[in-house]
Amino acid sequence: MIFLLIFVTLALIGMALVAILNTLTFPRLKSVRFAASPPSLSILIPARNEAAVIGQTVRSLLNQDYPHFELLLLDDNSTDHTAAVAHAAAQGDSRLRVIIGSPLPGGWLGKNWACHQLAQAASGEWLIFTDADVRWSPGALAALAAEMNRTQADLLTVWPTQHTVTWGERLVVPLMALVIWGYLPVLLVHHLPWSSLAAANGQCLAFRRRAYQAIGGHAALRDNILEDVAFARRIKAAGLRLRMADGAGLIACRMYRDWPSVRDGFAKNILAGYGGSVFFLALATAFHWLVFLFPWLLAFTIYDLRHRALWVFTISYPPFAIRYSPFVPLLLISLGLSIRLLTAAATRQRLADALLMPVSVLLMTRIAVQAVWWHWRGGPRWKGRVVKRSNV
Protein backbone atom coordinates (compact mmCIF):
# COMPACT_ATOMS: atom_id res chain seq x y z
CA MET A 1 0.00 0.00 0.00
CA ILE A 2 2.69 2.51 0.97
CA PHE A 3 4.51 2.00 -2.33
CA LEU A 4 1.31 2.65 -4.27
CA LEU A 5 0.71 5.85 -2.31
CA ILE A 6 4.25 7.07 -2.94
CA PHE A 7 3.97 6.23 -6.65
CA VAL A 8 0.63 7.99 -7.08
CA THR A 9 1.81 11.02 -5.12
CA LEU A 10 4.99 11.43 -7.16
CA ALA A 11 3.13 10.91 -10.43
CA LEU A 12 0.54 13.56 -9.59
CA ILE A 13 3.15 16.03 -8.39
CA GLY A 14 5.12 15.53 -11.61
CA MET A 15 2.02 16.05 -13.75
CA ALA A 16 1.07 19.14 -11.77
CA LEU A 17 4.52 20.69 -12.27
CA VAL A 18 4.42 20.01 -16.02
CA ALA A 19 0.89 21.45 -16.28
CA ILE A 20 1.89 24.61 -14.41
CA LEU A 21 5.02 25.02 -16.56
CA ASN A 22 3.04 24.57 -19.77
CA THR A 23 0.36 27.00 -18.62
CA LEU A 24 3.08 29.64 -18.24
CA THR A 25 5.06 28.85 -21.40
CA PHE A 26 2.78 27.26 -24.04
CA PRO A 27 2.62 29.65 -27.04
CA ARG A 28 -0.83 30.88 -28.01
CA LEU A 29 -1.99 32.33 -31.30
CA LYS A 30 -2.66 36.07 -31.21
CA SER A 31 -4.80 38.20 -33.49
CA VAL A 32 -2.14 40.24 -35.32
CA ARG A 33 -1.58 41.33 -38.86
CA PHE A 34 1.23 39.61 -40.70
CA ALA A 35 3.66 42.49 -41.02
CA ALA A 36 6.42 40.91 -43.09
CA SER A 37 6.22 40.18 -46.79
CA PRO A 38 3.54 37.50 -46.74
CA PRO A 39 4.43 34.10 -48.18
CA SER A 40 1.86 32.33 -50.29
CA LEU A 41 -0.16 29.75 -48.38
CA SER A 42 -1.91 26.63 -49.56
CA ILE A 43 -4.71 25.53 -47.23
CA LEU A 44 -5.31 21.84 -47.87
CA ILE A 45 -8.45 20.01 -46.73
CA PRO A 46 -9.04 16.29 -47.27
CA ALA A 47 -12.79 15.65 -47.13
CA ARG A 48 -14.81 12.45 -47.25
CA ASN A 49 -18.55 12.74 -46.62
CA GLU A 50 -18.26 16.11 -44.91
CA ALA A 51 -21.30 17.85 -46.42
CA ALA A 52 -22.67 18.65 -42.96
CA VAL A 53 -19.68 20.83 -42.01
CA ILE A 54 -17.72 21.75 -45.11
CA GLY A 55 -19.83 24.77 -46.07
CA GLN A 56 -19.13 26.62 -42.84
CA THR A 57 -15.45 25.70 -43.02
CA VAL A 58 -15.07 27.01 -46.57
CA ARG A 59 -16.85 30.26 -45.70
CA SER A 60 -14.71 30.84 -42.61
CA LEU A 61 -11.51 30.35 -44.58
CA LEU A 62 -12.50 32.50 -47.53
CA ASN A 63 -13.37 35.28 -45.07
CA GLN A 64 -9.80 35.43 -43.76
CA ASP A 65 -7.95 38.70 -44.23
CA TYR A 66 -4.61 37.12 -45.14
CA PRO A 67 -3.66 38.53 -48.55
CA HIS A 68 -2.20 35.59 -50.44
CA PHE A 69 -3.61 32.08 -50.14
CA GLU A 70 -5.35 29.33 -52.07
CA LEU A 71 -7.86 26.87 -50.66
CA LEU A 72 -7.69 23.33 -52.04
CA LEU A 73 -10.27 20.74 -51.07
CA LEU A 74 -9.98 17.13 -52.10
CA ASP A 75 -13.26 15.27 -52.33
CA ASP A 76 -12.26 11.74 -51.38
CA ASN A 77 -14.97 9.75 -53.15
CA SER A 78 -17.76 11.23 -51.04
CA THR A 79 -21.33 10.04 -51.41
CA ASP A 80 -23.03 13.05 -49.78
CA HIS A 81 -22.39 15.95 -52.21
CA THR A 82 -19.40 17.33 -50.27
CA ALA A 83 -17.96 18.98 -53.39
CA ALA A 84 -21.28 20.62 -54.34
CA VAL A 85 -21.74 22.06 -50.85
CA ALA A 86 -18.20 23.46 -50.91
CA HIS A 87 -18.74 25.09 -54.30
CA ALA A 88 -22.01 26.62 -53.14
CA ALA A 89 -20.36 28.04 -50.00
CA ALA A 90 -17.56 29.64 -52.05
CA GLN A 91 -20.06 31.52 -54.27
CA GLY A 92 -17.63 31.59 -57.17
CA ASP A 93 -14.56 32.65 -55.18
CA SER A 94 -11.61 31.65 -57.35
CA ARG A 95 -9.40 30.92 -54.34
CA LEU A 96 -11.27 27.64 -53.82
CA ARG A 97 -10.32 24.69 -55.98
CA VAL A 98 -12.05 21.35 -55.51
CA ILE A 99 -10.11 18.27 -56.59
CA ILE A 100 -11.79 14.94 -57.17
CA GLY A 101 -9.65 12.33 -55.49
CA SER A 102 -8.19 9.35 -57.29
CA PRO A 103 -9.11 5.84 -56.09
CA LEU A 104 -7.26 4.69 -52.99
CA PRO A 105 -4.21 2.62 -53.99
CA GLY A 106 -3.00 -0.35 -52.01
CA GLY A 107 -0.73 0.38 -49.07
CA TRP A 108 -2.19 3.83 -48.38
CA LEU A 109 -4.56 5.07 -45.70
CA GLY A 110 -7.35 7.27 -47.04
CA LYS A 111 -6.43 10.55 -45.35
CA ASN A 112 -2.73 10.20 -46.16
CA TRP A 113 -3.51 9.54 -49.82
CA ALA A 114 -5.82 12.55 -49.97
CA CYS A 115 -3.21 14.81 -48.36
CA HIS A 116 -0.55 13.53 -50.75
CA GLN A 117 -2.69 14.50 -53.73
CA LEU A 118 -3.37 17.91 -52.20
CA ALA A 119 0.33 18.59 -51.64
CA GLN A 120 1.09 17.71 -55.26
CA ALA A 121 -1.54 20.16 -56.47
CA ALA A 122 -0.57 23.00 -54.10
CA SER A 123 1.45 26.02 -55.22
CA GLY A 124 2.07 27.81 -51.91
CA GLU A 125 5.36 28.31 -50.11
CA TRP A 126 3.74 27.01 -46.94
CA LEU A 127 1.41 24.01 -46.83
CA ILE A 128 -1.32 24.06 -44.19
CA PHE A 129 -3.14 20.75 -43.74
CA THR A 130 -6.38 21.07 -41.82
CA ASP A 131 -9.55 19.05 -41.31
CA ALA A 132 -13.00 19.71 -42.71
CA ASP A 133 -14.47 20.30 -39.24
CA VAL A 134 -11.91 22.91 -38.11
CA ARG A 135 -13.31 26.43 -37.66
CA TRP A 136 -11.21 29.51 -38.45
CA SER A 137 -12.17 32.76 -36.72
CA PRO A 138 -11.48 36.05 -38.55
CA GLY A 139 -7.76 36.72 -38.38
CA ALA A 140 -6.85 33.11 -37.52
CA LEU A 141 -4.87 32.51 -40.70
CA ALA A 142 -2.85 35.70 -40.22
CA ALA A 143 -2.21 34.71 -36.59
CA LEU A 144 -0.95 31.29 -37.66
CA ALA A 145 1.31 32.81 -40.32
CA ALA A 146 2.68 35.33 -37.81
CA GLU A 147 3.48 32.54 -35.33
CA MET A 148 5.10 30.50 -38.07
CA ASN A 149 7.24 33.49 -39.01
CA ARG A 150 8.05 34.42 -35.39
CA THR A 151 9.26 30.95 -34.48
CA GLN A 152 10.88 30.19 -37.85
CA ALA A 153 9.22 26.79 -37.59
CA ASP A 154 9.61 24.16 -40.27
CA LEU A 155 6.49 22.52 -38.87
CA LEU A 156 4.04 24.44 -36.70
CA THR A 157 1.25 22.37 -35.22
CA VAL A 158 -1.70 24.14 -33.65
CA TRP A 159 -3.89 22.55 -30.98
CA PRO A 160 -7.37 23.88 -31.82
CA THR A 161 -9.75 24.84 -29.05
CA GLN A 162 -12.06 21.85 -28.77
CA HIS A 163 -15.80 22.49 -28.82
CA THR A 164 -17.79 19.80 -27.03
CA VAL A 165 -21.56 19.48 -26.58
CA THR A 166 -22.70 15.98 -25.63
CA TRP A 167 -21.51 14.22 -22.48
CA GLY A 168 -19.38 11.76 -24.44
CA GLU A 169 -17.50 14.65 -26.03
CA ARG A 170 -17.22 16.66 -22.82
CA LEU A 171 -15.75 13.82 -20.78
CA VAL A 172 -13.30 12.43 -23.33
CA VAL A 173 -12.17 15.03 -25.88
CA PRO A 174 -10.58 17.43 -23.32
CA LEU A 175 -8.30 14.59 -22.19
CA MET A 176 -6.16 15.37 -25.25
CA ALA A 177 -5.28 18.64 -23.55
CA LEU A 178 -4.59 16.83 -20.29
CA VAL A 179 -2.09 14.56 -22.04
CA ILE A 180 -0.26 17.37 -23.85
CA TRP A 181 -0.34 19.95 -21.07
CA GLY A 182 0.15 17.50 -18.21
CA TYR A 183 2.70 15.07 -19.65
CA LEU A 184 4.78 16.89 -22.27
CA PRO A 185 6.76 20.04 -21.34
CA VAL A 186 6.55 22.30 -24.38
CA LEU A 187 9.98 23.79 -23.67
CA LEU A 188 11.57 20.35 -24.04
CA VAL A 189 9.65 19.73 -27.27
CA HIS A 190 10.91 23.01 -28.69
CA HIS A 191 14.50 23.00 -27.50
CA LEU A 192 15.72 19.40 -27.19
CA PRO A 193 16.55 17.48 -30.38
CA TRP A 194 15.17 14.10 -29.31
CA SER A 195 12.46 12.91 -31.66
CA SER A 196 10.77 11.08 -28.78
CA LEU A 197 9.88 14.53 -27.40
CA ALA A 198 7.51 15.35 -30.24
CA ALA A 199 3.79 15.71 -30.69
CA ALA A 200 1.45 17.15 -33.28
CA ASN A 201 -2.23 17.52 -34.05
CA GLY A 202 -3.38 16.62 -37.55
CA GLN A 203 -6.24 19.12 -37.30
CA CYS A 204 -3.70 21.83 -38.15
CA LEU A 205 -0.22 21.16 -39.53
CA ALA A 206 1.65 24.05 -41.18
CA PHE A 207 4.79 23.09 -43.11
CA ARG A 208 7.38 25.02 -45.01
CA ARG A 209 7.25 23.30 -48.36
CA ARG A 210 10.96 22.54 -48.39
CA ALA A 211 10.71 20.86 -44.97
CA TYR A 212 7.70 18.80 -46.04
CA GLN A 213 9.58 17.61 -49.10
CA ALA A 214 12.79 16.97 -47.15
CA ILE A 215 11.11 14.42 -44.86
CA GLY A 216 9.34 12.67 -47.72
CA GLY A 217 5.86 14.15 -47.32
CA HIS A 218 2.85 11.89 -46.93
CA ALA A 219 4.39 9.32 -49.24
CA ALA A 220 6.86 8.44 -46.48
CA LEU A 221 3.97 7.82 -44.07
CA ARG A 222 1.42 6.39 -46.47
CA ASP A 223 0.17 3.66 -44.07
CA ASN A 224 0.67 5.46 -40.75
CA ILE A 225 -2.55 6.20 -38.87
CA LEU A 226 -0.73 8.65 -36.56
CA GLU A 227 0.88 10.57 -39.38
CA ASP A 228 0.76 13.84 -37.43
CA VAL A 229 2.96 12.53 -34.60
CA ALA A 230 5.17 10.73 -37.10
CA PHE A 231 5.67 14.00 -39.00
CA ALA A 232 6.70 15.75 -35.79
CA ARG A 233 9.26 13.05 -35.04
CA ARG A 234 10.65 13.06 -38.56
CA ILE A 235 11.02 16.84 -38.49
CA LYS A 236 13.09 16.65 -35.30
CA ALA A 237 15.07 13.64 -36.51
CA ALA A 238 16.02 15.63 -39.63
CA GLY A 239 17.33 18.51 -37.50
CA LEU A 240 14.44 20.77 -38.49
CA ARG A 241 12.40 23.00 -36.20
CA LEU A 242 9.15 21.78 -34.63
CA ARG A 243 6.95 24.27 -32.81
CA MET A 244 3.55 23.92 -31.13
CA ALA A 245 0.91 26.53 -30.33
CA ASP A 246 -2.51 26.67 -28.72
CA GLY A 247 -5.37 27.74 -30.97
CA ALA A 248 -6.61 30.16 -28.28
CA GLY A 249 -10.14 30.21 -29.69
CA LEU A 250 -8.97 31.47 -33.09
CA ILE A 251 -8.75 27.96 -34.49
CA ALA A 252 -11.34 25.58 -33.08
CA CYS A 253 -12.83 22.19 -33.81
CA ARG A 254 -15.72 19.98 -32.86
CA MET A 255 -14.27 16.56 -33.55
CA TYR A 256 -17.27 14.35 -32.86
CA ARG A 257 -21.01 14.65 -32.34
CA ASP A 258 -21.96 11.86 -29.90
CA TRP A 259 -20.56 9.05 -27.75
CA PRO A 260 -20.38 6.39 -30.52
CA SER A 261 -18.32 8.67 -32.75
CA VAL A 262 -16.09 9.68 -29.79
CA ARG A 263 -15.57 6.03 -28.87
CA ASP A 264 -14.77 4.90 -32.40
CA GLY A 265 -12.70 7.97 -33.28
CA PHE A 266 -10.40 7.59 -30.30
CA ALA A 267 -10.33 3.78 -30.52
CA LYS A 268 -9.03 3.81 -34.09
CA ASN A 269 -5.92 5.76 -33.01
CA ILE A 270 -5.18 4.92 -29.40
CA LEU A 271 -3.42 1.60 -29.90
CA ALA A 272 -1.09 3.05 -32.54
CA GLY A 273 -0.13 5.71 -30.01
CA TYR A 274 1.34 2.92 -27.89
CA GLY A 275 3.31 1.40 -30.71
CA GLY A 276 0.55 -1.06 -31.54
CA SER A 277 1.25 -2.87 -28.26
CA VAL A 278 -1.74 -4.15 -26.31
CA PHE A 279 0.60 -4.57 -23.32
CA PHE A 280 1.62 -0.90 -23.27
CA LEU A 281 -1.97 0.22 -23.73
CA ALA A 282 -2.97 -1.96 -20.77
CA LEU A 283 -0.07 -0.55 -18.76
CA ALA A 284 -1.18 3.02 -19.53
CA THR A 285 -4.75 2.15 -18.57
CA ALA A 286 -3.55 0.72 -15.25
CA PHE A 287 -1.49 3.87 -14.65
CA HIS A 288 -4.51 6.11 -15.09
CA TRP A 289 -6.59 3.90 -12.82
CA LEU A 290 -3.91 4.20 -10.15
CA VAL A 291 -3.48 7.95 -10.49
CA PHE A 292 -7.08 9.06 -10.93
CA LEU A 293 -9.23 6.23 -9.50
CA PHE A 294 -7.17 4.61 -6.75
CA PRO A 295 -7.40 7.64 -4.41
CA TRP A 296 -11.21 7.58 -4.76
CA LEU A 297 -11.36 3.85 -4.07
CA LEU A 298 -9.10 4.29 -1.05
CA ALA A 299 -11.20 7.13 0.31
CA PHE A 300 -14.37 5.02 0.10
CA THR A 301 -12.60 2.00 1.57
CA ILE A 302 -11.61 3.79 4.76
CA TYR A 303 -15.06 5.29 5.27
CA ASP A 304 -17.10 3.37 7.82
CA LEU A 305 -20.66 3.76 6.62
CA ARG A 306 -22.09 2.21 9.79
CA HIS A 307 -20.36 4.63 12.17
CA ARG A 308 -20.14 7.46 9.61
CA ALA A 309 -16.53 8.00 10.58
CA LEU A 310 -13.14 7.89 8.93
CA TRP A 311 -10.60 5.47 10.23
CA VAL A 312 -7.05 6.48 11.09
CA PHE A 313 -4.63 3.60 11.07
CA THR A 314 -0.91 2.85 11.04
CA ILE A 315 1.02 1.27 8.20
CA SER A 316 4.07 -0.53 9.60
CA TYR A 317 7.06 -1.04 7.40
CA PRO A 318 10.32 -1.63 9.32
CA PRO A 319 12.13 0.47 10.21
CA PHE A 320 9.31 2.98 9.56
CA ALA A 321 5.92 3.33 11.11
CA ILE A 322 3.74 5.69 9.09
CA ARG A 323 0.71 7.27 10.62
CA TYR A 324 -1.83 7.20 7.81
CA SER A 325 -4.37 9.99 7.72
CA PRO A 326 -7.72 9.70 5.98
CA PHE A 327 -6.97 13.04 4.42
CA VAL A 328 -4.21 11.55 2.26
CA PRO A 329 -6.60 10.13 -0.38
CA LEU A 330 -8.58 13.38 -0.24
CA LEU A 331 -5.41 15.35 -0.96
CA LEU A 332 -4.54 13.02 -3.86
CA ILE A 333 -8.08 13.36 -5.23
CA SER A 334 -7.80 17.14 -4.99
CA LEU A 335 -4.44 17.13 -6.75
CA GLY A 336 -5.75 14.98 -9.61
CA LEU A 337 -8.81 17.17 -10.07
CA SER A 338 -6.65 20.31 -9.91
CA ILE A 339 -4.51 19.06 -12.80
CA ARG A 340 -7.61 18.38 -14.86
CA LEU A 341 -9.04 21.79 -13.91
CA LEU A 342 -5.82 23.60 -14.80
CA THR A 343 -5.54 22.00 -18.23
CA ALA A 344 -9.24 22.68 -18.85
CA ALA A 345 -8.84 26.35 -17.94
CA ALA A 346 -5.71 26.71 -20.07
CA THR A 347 -7.44 25.27 -23.14
CA ARG A 348 -10.85 26.88 -22.68
CA GLN A 349 -12.79 23.77 -21.63
CA ARG A 350 -15.63 23.53 -19.09
CA LEU A 351 -14.19 23.55 -15.58
CA ALA A 352 -17.10 21.70 -13.99
CA ASP A 353 -16.54 18.67 -16.23
CA ALA A 354 -13.16 18.16 -14.54
CA LEU A 355 -14.99 17.00 -11.42
CA LEU A 356 -16.06 13.90 -13.36
CA MET A 357 -12.49 12.81 -14.07
CA PRO A 358 -13.09 9.28 -12.68
CA VAL A 359 -15.90 8.84 -15.22
CA SER A 360 -13.57 10.06 -17.96
CA VAL A 361 -11.03 7.40 -16.98
CA LEU A 362 -13.70 4.71 -17.16
CA LEU A 363 -14.79 5.92 -20.60
CA MET A 364 -11.18 5.82 -21.81
CA THR A 365 -10.97 2.27 -20.50
CA ARG A 366 -14.01 1.43 -22.62
CA ILE A 367 -12.27 3.00 -25.61
CA ALA A 368 -9.12 0.96 -24.93
CA VAL A 369 -11.21 -2.23 -24.84
CA GLN A 370 -12.78 -1.24 -28.19
CA ALA A 371 -9.33 -0.67 -29.67
CA VAL A 372 -8.08 -4.08 -28.54
CA TRP A 373 -11.22 -5.77 -29.86
CA TRP A 374 -10.74 -4.16 -33.25
CA HIS A 375 -7.06 -5.10 -33.19
CA TRP A 376 -7.96 -8.75 -32.76
CA ARG A 377 -10.72 -8.50 -35.40
CA GLY A 378 -8.45 -7.10 -38.12
CA GLY A 379 -8.83 -3.35 -37.69
CA PRO A 380 -11.55 -0.71 -37.32
CA ARG A 381 -13.84 0.63 -39.99
CA TRP A 382 -13.79 4.40 -40.42
CA LYS A 383 -15.84 6.26 -42.99
CA GLY A 384 -16.60 3.03 -44.77
CA ARG A 385 -13.02 1.75 -44.94
CA VAL A 386 -11.07 -0.77 -42.89
CA VAL A 387 -8.12 0.99 -41.28
CA LYS A 388 -4.92 -1.05 -41.27
CA ARG A 389 -2.55 0.44 -38.76
CA SER A 390 1.15 1.13 -39.09
CA ASN A 391 2.83 2.21 -35.86
CA VAL A 392 4.65 5.48 -35.32
Is-contact 253 135, C-beta < 8 A? Answer: yes
Residue after which a domain boundary falls, among 227, 257, 287: 257
CATH number at residue 71: 3.90.550.10
* Residue 391, domain member (yes or no): no
User: Which of 55-59, 359-363, 375-379, 383-387 shows the lowest per-residue confidence on average (mean pLDDT)?
Assistant: 383-387
pTM of the model: 0.89
Whether residue 92 is predicted with pLDDT greater than 90 in this model: the reply is yes
CB 101 within 8 A of CB 117: yes
Q: Are residues 147 and 231 in the same domain?
A: yes
Percent residues over pLDDT 90 in the chain: 79
Domain shared by 156 and 176, yes or no: yes
> φ, ψ for residue 177 (rounded to 5)?
-65, -40
Give the DSSP per-residue string, 159-192: EPEEP--SHHHHHHTTHHHHHHHHH--HHHHHH-
Residues 6+ apart with CB under 8 A from 190: 242, 243, 244
pLDDT at residue 36 greater than cutoff 60? yes
Q: 225 and 103: one domain?
A: yes
Q: What pLDDT digit, counting tens, does each position of 250-296 carry?
A: 999 999 999 999 999 999 989 988 988 999 999 999 999 999 999 99
- Please tell me the predicted confidence (pLDDT) of residue 84: 95
Residue 263 lies in a domain: no
> Does residue 296 fall inside a structural domain?
yes
One domain for residues 64 and 173: yes
**Domain termination residue (choose one: 195, 226, 257):** 257
Mean pLDDT, all residues of the chain: 90
Does residue 266 belong to any structural domain of this protein?
no
Is there a single domain that holds both residue 51 and residue 143?
A: yes
Structural domain of 94: 26-257
Q: What pLDDT, on a 0 to 100 scale, did the predictor assign at position 377?
A: 81
